[in-house]
Amino acid sequence: MPAPHSLTIAHWRSSSYSEGGGQCLQVPVEKVSDLVPVRDSKYPDRTPLVFSDAAWQSFVTAVAVPDGPLSP
C-alpha cells in the first residue's frame, strides 16, 4: 500500500465525466506506487481503496465499453 504521507500530499483528480457533482471517484494525478489508490470525492479524508495496476486497468477497460461492462 502507498505510504500514507504520499497520499496526504497527492493531487487528486476526478473524471471529466463527473461534471463537478461531488459524486465521483478520484485518483492521484501523479503515480504514487505500483498501486492505484481510489477515493470517494464525497469523503476525501477517508482511507482510499487501493488496487493493483492490472485490476484498475481491467476496471477502466470494462466501464469504457460503449455498450456497458463485459459479461463474465
Q: What is the pTM of this model?
A: 0.67
Q: What are phi and psi of 68, to 5 degrees?
A: 105, 180
* Residue 1 banded pLDDT, cuts 50, 70, 90: very low
What separation in angstroms does the CA of 61 have from each of 1, 6, 46? 23, 27, 26
CA atoms of 67 and 50, how far apart (whole Å): 27
Please write the tens of the pLDDT for every residue from 9-60. 678 888 766 666 667 888 888 877 788 899 888 888 888 999 999 998 888 8
